[in-house]
Amino acid sequence: MDTGKEIVVVVDEYGGLAGIVTVEDLLSEVVGDFESEPVEEIQKLDDTTYRLQGQLPIRSWRDLFTGFLPGQEVDGLAFDTLGGFIISLLGRMPRPGDTVAVRNLCLTVESIHHHHIGTVLLHLQPPEGEA
């Protein structure tokens, strides 16, 4: 089957399949994504909904929503971005539409780009006991 894409198959020391890399993956890693205009890391859509970039540093994000995670918890995290946080909570690479909830925050993966989370919709839920 000819897909018109050039790929490299990566094997481990035992001859097993370790992964596949496309030319697009290589270019993206070397020169970055080709975006023509800067992207806002945080867009406020309404009073309770935000669109966040998956590459948003987790420490910056926590500062926006105080009370989400105490500073000492954030300092000990094994990931640096919102995307890494979501992957950690799910235990797998997410798909668009996957949702996780933490305290009064509901995070929905909106898009995936080149094997990482592109955008996330954050919806602030009222604290328990309020409606």
Neighbours of 50 (CB within 10 A): 20
pLDDT digits (tens, 9 = 90+) for 59-96: 777 666 655 555 555 555 667 888 988 988 888 889 99
Please tell me the CATH code under which domain 42-124 is placed: 3.30.465.10
Unique residue bearing structure tokens 């890399």: 21
Mean pLDDT, to the nearest integer, of 114-118? Answer: 85
Neighbours of 109 (CB within 10 A): 23
Unique residue bearing structure tokens 């925050």: 105
Higher pLDDT, 92 or 130: 92
Q: Where are the domains of the chain?
A: 1-34, 42-124
Contact assessment for residue 11 and residue 21, using Cβ atoms and an 8 Å cutoff: no
Mean pLDDT, to the nearest integer, of 45-69? Answer: 79
